[in-house]
Chains A and B, each alone.
Chain A
Amino acid sequence: MIEFDLTTIWALIIAFAVFMYVVMDGFDLGIGILFPTFSKGEERSQAMNAIAPVWDGNETWLVLGGGGLLAAFPLAYAIILPATYPLIIAMLLGLIFRGVAFEFRWRDPRHEAFWDFAFFAGSLVAAFSQGMVLGAILQGIAIEGRAYAGGWLDWLQPYTLLTGLGVTVGYALLGSTFLAMKLTGKPEAHAYRLAVRAGLATLLLLIAVSLATPFLLGRYWSRWFDWPQILFTSQVPLLTAITFYALYRSLKKKRRYLPFVLSLCLFLLGMVGLGISMWPYVVPESVTIWDAAAPERSQAFMLVGTAFIMPIILIYTGWAYWVFRGKVGTEGYH
């Protein structure tokens, strides 16, 4: 079973950072992906304003995921990034367009259409690349010694296209349920409609990815289906099914917060599923978290700081969300 040594704690911290990034920038990127479906001008302004004060903090979790991986598991960082090189570059370029659009759109009304498109395309490219990186890691990476040994397009497979699409659609679900909380009137109704469709699409793609994954590697199969583990692992798809049903009902009833919370639960279950498949590997089949671990002194030094600082970060991040709580642009907001 799991022993809570320093390296395990760090694996959990990195997993937490990745999860925080995926859900928090997930709804930002999701809003970007759905951006063209909102009518030009005011509706889009509202959608962007729903996240304008918080997107930067959300994106910081990506830097923590990358920087934390380098610091706590340098070998994993040194293998995964070259292996997915074009995807990472595409993601970074996508994030550049997405990020500057928040400012540039307001600075240059004459080119609003262009920055609207940049916001959408940047979000889409970033989301799809992230999904493909996930798939590329899951399908395994060719390694020689302590370095990546594959070609520069190894990551391009039907499976990774599937995961890319899955993450994109999942982000759209987060984005639409987030907007359902934040908007009012016509765009709010639109967000609910989008959420239903994104929810169904997420369900289909999650099933497709879940069916494909156990066939990638033998150990995934045995992880999920060996007796008696299956008693535990089968809870994950069961809970997922229940959550999807609850999500559908909450959307039909136009509940305000519940759809977003349930979407978060779906991502959490996805993360648990990922953990079941991968543990204790960071690069499946070849590099465990202990192989990749930084020296104990590095991990210990960072743990001291993280234990103190992380709660403070969560408090002031929560405060920032509290300051900008409520519907965008309604009276109760002030």
Chain B
Amino acid sequence: MDLDFTALFLARLQFAFTVSFHFIFPSFSIGLASYLAVLEGLWLKTKKPLYLHLFRYWLKIFAIVFAMGVVSGIVMSYQFGTNWSVFSDKAGGVIGPLMAYEVLTAFFLEAGFLGVMLFGMRKVGPGLHFGATLMVALGTAISAFWILSANSWMHTPTGYLVTPDGRFVPGPSWPAIIFNPSFPYRLLHTVLAAYLTTAFAVGAVGAWHLLRDNANAHARKMFSMAMWMAALVTPVQILAGDQHALNTEEHQPAKIMAMEGHYQSYADGAPFYVVGWPNDREQRMEYALAIPKVGSLLVKHDLNAPMAGLDTIPREDQPPTAIIFWSFRIMVGLGFLMLGLGLWSLFARVRRRLYDWRSLHRAALIMGPSGFVAVIAGWVTTEVGRQPFTVYGLLRTADSVSPLAAPAVATSLLAFVVVYFAVFGVGTWYILRLMAHRPHADEEEPEEAERAPLRTAGITPGPTQNPPRGEPLPENPEEAR
């Protein structure tokens, strides 16, 4: 990898930095929005106040995650123009409409109902409020649909035509563009990843409070729900990942070669490198620990299947192997640790020790950030694996960049790094502080948290100072009307 600080390199660094940071928030808020909808639905159905308390507890956290996702997301929608203007000009006719549909069908839906979800329980009543929560959750899912369709098209472009001056324009069929070959796999894999990320974060918070007081009913409930997700969804996710890899092998073989560290072709069965150091310059694996034939088994589901290596790909079309090789291993390794934790929780349930097995709780606590790390590692694998192209095989990254001077990009990159670490670092600290709060029975709406007396003149009066028509905070859905 050559590290000369050209405008191109800086622009890539900037995009990688801003998109990786951004991706943390939606991967949490997609899962959390659905979790909140489930909690509120359970509250309405069972009328147990416990679910409402949990809903309010996580709603406060959701509000911060969502705000950080929004502000870092707006940056993304402009980065295509500021740093990748040639790409925007050439591919805008195809991916632009997909992103416009994301705004129209998802962003407005989320943002439009978020205010009611956060502040409107007393104003609209539980039924409509649940509707608003569902709309926010639906919005996050629709958003994933469109943005992953656009992203997948960059990996496996279909349904396009090329103009004489090299621009991509849509062919006669939009479904051929939207449902491009890698999209269904990527969508499933990414949405499941968001659910698992949330499950492990919720599980860790539950575990933390169980370690301090394992009689806490709220902590028990969230831990149990999270561990069900871990046990049931992780195996599905591993299968989905396997299917996604088969799809990648078909459409982007160079990416699989880099993930496997296969510089050479293997005629009858390729090895699986457990660890090793890929050396792109000399095109070989160093310090490798290899298991013969297992590479073919994993990728082709056949021990003796021949596999082509990077020696079949011209050097200028190869992605940087070392990053992909390692990010892939981090993702997969974490996936199997998640599976292990899920199975352990099932075993604990059978032995009726789910709430008092302290080492299980400690393990769940340690695995709290695993989803975030796995999501970023997986994202790095697939996006770096697309290099050196923006539109795979058709448009090079080097030919996509804006005509910008390096100092301009360097300055903005520095500004993004400083601001993101400061602002989102502080935001993460606030989230951790909220998570450290013991979930309890008189969980307030986010509006009233911590500042109740001062906020009595605010949009929602504090319950103790100015209850609407003298009613207490609603505990069961009938009272709330």
Contact = CB atoms under 8 A, between A and B. Distances in A.
B71 A60 contact: no
A89 interface: yes
Contacts of A63: 73-74, 77, 103, 107
B369 to A, nearest CB: 21
Contacts of B100: 64, 67-68, 70-72, 302, 306
Contacts of A103: 63-64, 67, 427, 430
Interface in B434-475: 434, 446, 449-451, 454-459, 461, 468-469
Contact of A96 (B75, B105, B450): B75
Interface in B78-121: 78, 80-82, 85-86, 88-89, 92-94, 96-97, 99-105, 107-116, 118-120
Contact of B427 (A62, A100, A148, A152): A100
B114 A56 contact: yes
Contacts of A268: none
A38 B434 CA distance: 29
Interface string B387-427: 00000000000000011110110011001100100010011
A325 to B, nearest CB: 10
A225 B99 CA distance: 41
Contacts of A328: 457-459
Contacts of A96: 71-72, 75, 419, 423
Contacts of A99: 67, 70-71
A137 to B, nearest CB: 13
Interface in A58-97: 59-60, 62-64, 66-72, 74-75, 77-82, 85-86, 88-89, 92-93, 95-97
Contacts of A207: none
- Output the residue of B105, B115, B454 with the most chain A CB within 10 A: B115
Contact of A49 (B74, B107, B113, B459): B459
Contacts, number: 263
Interface string A38-65: 0001100110011011101101101110
Interface stretch (A1-9, A190-198, A234-242, A308-316): A308-316
A310 B104 CA distance: 7
B67 A81 contact: no
B171 to A, nearest CB: 8
A306 B108 CA distance: 12
A146 interface: yes
B336 interface: no
B123 interface: yes
Contact of A85 (B113, B404, B451): B404
Interface in A155-169: none
B423 A100 contact: yes
Instruction: State the main secondary structure of chain B at its contact with A.
Output: helix
A36 interface: no
A92 B72 CA distance: 9
A71 B105 CA distance: 15
Interface in A269-319: 294-295, 297-298, 301-302, 305-306, 309-310, 313, 316-317
18 contacts: A56-B70, A56-B115, A60-B111, A63-B107, A77-B89, A78-B86, A92-B75, A96-B419, A100-B71, A147-B402, A297-B171, A297-B172, A298-B170, A301-B174, A317-B108, A317-B112, A320-B112, A328-B459
Nearest to B408: A152
A334 B469 contact: yes
B124 interface: yes
A86 B412 contact: yes
Contacts of B456: 329
Which of under 10, 10 to 19, 20 to 34, or 35 or more describes the interface residues of B?
A: 35 or more
Contact of B123 (A62, A97, A306, A334): A334
A81 B119 contact: no
Interface in B185-228: none
Contacts of B405: 151-152
A156 B411 CA distance: 17
A224 interface: no
B450 A45 contact: no
B481 interface: no
B67 A100 contact: yes
Given A63-B74, A103-B63, A109-B451, A74 B89 contact: yes
A106 interface: yes
A107 interface: yes
Contacts of A146: 89
A320 B402 CA distance: 39
B115 A59 contact: no
B430 A57 contact: no
B360 interface: no
